[in-house]
Structure 1
Amino acid sequence: MSDDRRKRFGAYLARMRRKANKSQRQLAEMLCRISGTASVTRNEVSRWERGERVPTVWLPALATALGIHLDELERAAEHARGDDIQNGTPSPAETLAILLPDHGEHLGPLASHVGRRIGMSTADGLAARAHGLRLADDVIAGGDLIAPAFRELNAAIRLYRETTHTEEVGRALLASIAEMAQIAGWIASDAGQHDQAERAYRLGVSAAREAQDSTLAGNLAGSLAYQLSNTGQEDTGLSLAQAALEEAGPDAPGKTRALYLDRVAWAHTKKGQNQQAMRALGEAHEALTEDGADEAPTWAYWVSAEELDVMDARVYTELHKPLRAVPLLQEVLSRYDATHARELALYLSWLAVALADANEPEEAANTTRRILDLTSDLTSDRTNQRTRVVLAKLEPFRHVPEVREILDEHAA
């Protein structure tokens, strides 16, 4: 059995547990109640999540406890055990099959809903698919995921338009469409399709507003602001990042406000506004520690103190403060989820730049080697762009043997 597969399954199981708002101990206790035994402990759940073991007989109880489909969980466990393919790492299609099953399993064929009245169970199924896309984006690069993402988004839009439903169900459908538009836009941006991403973001803002979800609308506007800041439209990016924070409002959960403030900080950074950027970073950390900060929507599951630390370090790097950036990045990256190869490579790229700024070319070269290994088969425009930045940063150190070797290998 592949250790990597077990660890990926463990990380998947941990995400599902956190989504269900359960601790490892609570999950173990619930499994005991469901099964009528007392044979599952917190330590056993921890072993599953660390990838030391893959549960078998406990899968039905786990599906019930976590509120996920048993066939989805069984496929994920089968993949972890290596029953589905004999050799190699899973392809994007295989990973997507685990996280985003065929439409029929959650929603039924779309044609069967045309003209029919649908209820909240269908809306819940659509929300589950939106979350499946988010989880897929954690481990699949944009070039591999863009086509499935926009198929999901277009199917969701047709579902809303071609059925009848109550006002409450309609709002839930619109919210899921907005969530799908946000992640589809993010995926398109990662694939380098910025116009397509912008169209998705703008559609999502409209859907979120119609669903009366200002926090979600803020996430979409902030996502577009981040893209604009990174593609040479710094003034518009800053204005939109600030507008996104205002759109969400002061009553938005602390975790989401922290995210929007981080985007404001980045937008200031891209404009060279150091003091404003540092102030926004501080406000982001304050927002994350507010009472009720954990009461955030599902789509904000990834926002954490570690992610804020990464943004801090990125800002420090852009502002040429390597003595602050390097230790912060090294600490976060020492415990970062290795299955998130794209994010790991991106964060390492800022570490490599900071090391070069700190006049540590050998360490910068070693870090660059890790980036190149991670991105060798990633279809991500983001990682391609950052790799070019890192290689250009190393050029003044060509006289260092470790640097010269990398630059000669990757001259193109």
Structure 2
Amino acid sequence: MSYVRRKHFGAYLARLRREARKSQRQLADQLCALSGLSTLTRNEVSRWERGERVPDGWLLMIAQALGTPAGDLERAASYARGEPLPVEALSPAETLGQLLPPDDLLLPLESGGGQRIAMDSVTSLAGRVHGLRLADDVLAGGDLLAPAFRELSSAVRLYRESSHTEDVGRGLLIQIGELAQISGWIASDAGHHDRAEKAYRLGISAAREAGDRALVGHLAGSLAYQWSNIGREQEGVDLARAALDEAGPDAHPKARALFFDRIAWTHTRARESQPAMRALGEAHEALSVEASSDDAPQWSYWVSDEELSVMDARVYTELRRPLRAVPLLSSALAGYDATHAREVALYRSWLVVALADANEQEQAAQEARRVLAVDVASERTAERSRVMLRHLQTHADAPDVCSLLDEYGTWCSSK
């Protein structure tokens, strides 16, 4: 039996227990009452949650005690025993487990017994995490990579080497998850895709342990977005949809809009136009639901109608519908904060492609020069510049495009 899979089952069982608001001792006592036995102790429940054993023979009673479907527990236990399961038979959480093969970074984090910390440490960490997000708005991945991963290592070390209450521990895990997401995003922007994936996986582990399903979805969706951009398009589609399912229907509308937008992008990259268009509509519909902004996750601060329109335009451009894309991108760029140089360059690169496809080659060449004049430490922006120039090669008969390619043509093959 796979030890790592048992650890996954243990983490899953621990999350179900916490959601049922039971301690390990309370669960053990209830299982004794249900079975008529008095031999089960808190220590045995702890062994299950640490992955030392799978509770064969207790699964139906555990399901009854925790108010969870017995079939879900049975499937999770089968997976822990090493038995393969079809993805369509799994719950959203189990689907994520199949799409993200287990490794050490997905194991539950375990806190240590060092200096005791209080909730003010969580508040301080949350401020630094959001500060890093805001920095990412105006700086690029290459500028932020080192400080982001220093913060992530420091946060994990704080959790593991300190002692704290359960509430403080959960708060730390949530901030580790959020920090892992922005660190992964920064690493992906810098072209460090393996490092980004490891950060996302660590964040998923922390968010699962904290029971924050929306954050699990945010992290998984971020990884799906990366996969779709590096040649793993169908896996990206599957993971983006699993991320939405994991977050559940009660996730804040801004979060659900973001998840639908990622689904739209992954379908676009997979050249599946109809599902992509449906997902765009579902994103706008989700954001139209009235809800207090105070209840929205802090990581969704940037989600707005304007940002959804940018994704609409990117999808239209990729699907070769330039007459829809050009007005949306032109409008977005006209009002976009000029300090967000990387985003402006990225969005303008899609405008270049859309203009070229709309037979506006002169304007496309002008906009392309503005993209190429931006100097940011972003591999994502550099790759978009290469994509843009390669696309313009099909319009090289236009004098302005020809002149541009004479000047920058070597970028098409540079890496």
TM-score, L = length of structure 1: 0.71
Which residue of 1 is the match for residue 262 of structure 2?
263
Aligned-residue offset at 1:118: 0.5
Which residue of 2 is the match for residue 404 of structure 1?
402
**Preserved CA contact (<8 Å) 1:218 1:245:** yes
Amino acid at match of 1:408: D
The reply to whether residue 291 of structure 1 matches residue 277 of structure 2 is no
1:272, 1:408 → 2: CA distance?
A: 31
Aligned-residue offset at 1:207: 0.3
The reply to whether residue 357 of structure 1 matches residue 357 of structure 2 is yes
Aligned-residue offset at 1:261: 0.3
**Preserved CA contact (<8 Å) 1:352 1:367:** yes
- Give the 5 Å matches for 1:379-398: 379-398=377-396
Aligned-residue offset at 1:400: 2.3
Aligned-residue offset at 1:260: 0.2
Aligned-residue offset at 1:291: 1.5
**Preserved CA contact (<8 Å) 1:184 1:200:** yes
Aligned-residue offset at 1:403: 1.4
Residue segments in structure 2 that go unaligned for 5+ positions in a row: 1-111, 411-415
Which residue of 2 is the match for residue 300 of structure 1?
300
Amino acid at match of 1:151: R
Which residue of 1 is the match for residue 369 of structure 2?
369
Q: Give secondary structure in 1 for the equivalent of 2:306.
A: helix
TM-score, L = length of structure 2: 0.71
CA, structure 1 residues 121+323, in 2 after alignment: closer, same or farther (shift >3 Å)? same
1:131, 1:301 → 2: CA distance?
A: 10
**Preserved CA contact (<8 Å) 1:361 1:400:** yes
2:113, 2:333 → 1: CA distance?
A: 48
Q: Which has the higher contact order (CA 8 A, sep 6+)?
A: 2
2:276, 2:395 → 1: CA distance?
A: 30
2:281, 2:123 → 1: CA distance?
A: 36
Aligned-residue offset at 1:401: 2.5
The reply to whether residue 120 of structure 1 matches residue 126 of structure 2 is no
CA, structure 1 residues 217+318, in 2 after alignment: closer, same or farther (shift >3 Å)? same
The reply to whether residue 155 of structure 1 matches residue 154 of structure 2 is yes
2:292, 2:256 → 1: CA distance?
A: 9
**Preserved CA contact (<8 Å) 1:287 1:293:** no
1:217, 1:175 → 2: CA distance?
A: 10
Count of matched residue positions in the alignment of Structure 1 and Structure 2:
298
Aligned-residue offset at 1:411: 2.3
Q: Give secondary structure in 1 for the equivalent of 2:373.
A: helix
Amino acid at match of 1:400: A
Amino acid at match of 1:349: S
CA, structure 1 residues 335+114, in 2 after alignment: closer, same or farther (shift >3 Å)? farther
**Superposed CA offset, 1:267-313 (max 9, x none):** 11111111111111001001001021633111110111111000000
Amino acid at match of 2:338: A
Q: In angstroms, what is the RMSD of aligned CA positions?
A: 1.2
The reply to whether residue 378 of structure 1 matches residue 373 of structure 2 is no
**Preserved CA contact (<8 Å) 1:255 1:293:** no
Which residue of 1 is the match for residue 181 of structure 2?
182
1:282, 1:408 → 2: CA distance?
A: 41
1:268, 1:164 → 2: CA distance?
A: 44
Q: Give secondary structure in 2 for the equivalent of 1:117.
A: coil
Which residue of 2 is the match for residue 312 of structure 1?
312
Which residue of 2 is the match for residue 214 of structure 1?
213
Aligned-residue offset at 1:332: 1.1
Aligned-residue offset at 1:114: 8.5
Amino acid at match of 2:408: H
Q: Give secondary structure in 2 for the equivalent of 1:338.
A: coil
Aligned-residue offset at 1:156: 0.4
1:322, 1:338 → 2: CA distance?
A: 24
The reply to whether residue 138 of structure 1 matches residue 137 of structure 2 is yes
Aligned-residue offset at 1:405: 2.1
Which residue of 2 is the match for residue 166 of structure 1?
165
1:293, 1:256 → 2: CA distance?
A: 13
Which residue of 1 is the match for residue 333 of structure 2?
333
Aligned-residue offset at 1:407: 1.1
**Preserved CA contact (<8 Å) 1:254 1:293:** no
1:397, 1:203 → 2: CA distance?
A: 45
Amino acid at match of 2:398: V
2:397, 2:299 → 1: CA distance?
A: 47
**Preserved CA contact (<8 Å) 1:114 1:159:** no
Which residue of 1 is the match for residue 57 of structure 2?
none
**Superposed CA offset, 1:228-275 (max 9, x none):** 001000111000000000011000000000000000011111111111
**Superposed CA offset, 1:86-144 (max 9, x none):** xxxxxxxxxxxxxxxxxxxxxxxxxxx98211100111000111101101111111111
1:275, 1:285 → 2: CA distance?
A: 16
2:210, 2:182 → 1: CA distance?
A: 17
1:285, 1:315 → 2: CA distance?
A: 14
Amino acid at match of 2:406: D
Amino acid at match of 1:242: R
**Superposed CA offset, 1:314-334 (max 9, x none):** 110111000000011111111
Name which of structure 1's ranges 230-239 and 287-296 shifts more when overlaid on structure 2. Answer: 287-296
1:221, 1:176 → 2: CA distance?
A: 16
Amino acid at match of 1:270: R
CA, structure 1 residues 140+393, in 2 after alignment: closer, same or farther (shift >3 Å)? same
Aligned-residue offset at 1:357: 0.5
The reply to whether residue 246 of structure 1 matches residue 245 of structure 2 is yes
Q: Give secondary structure in 2 for the equivalent of 1:359.
A: coil
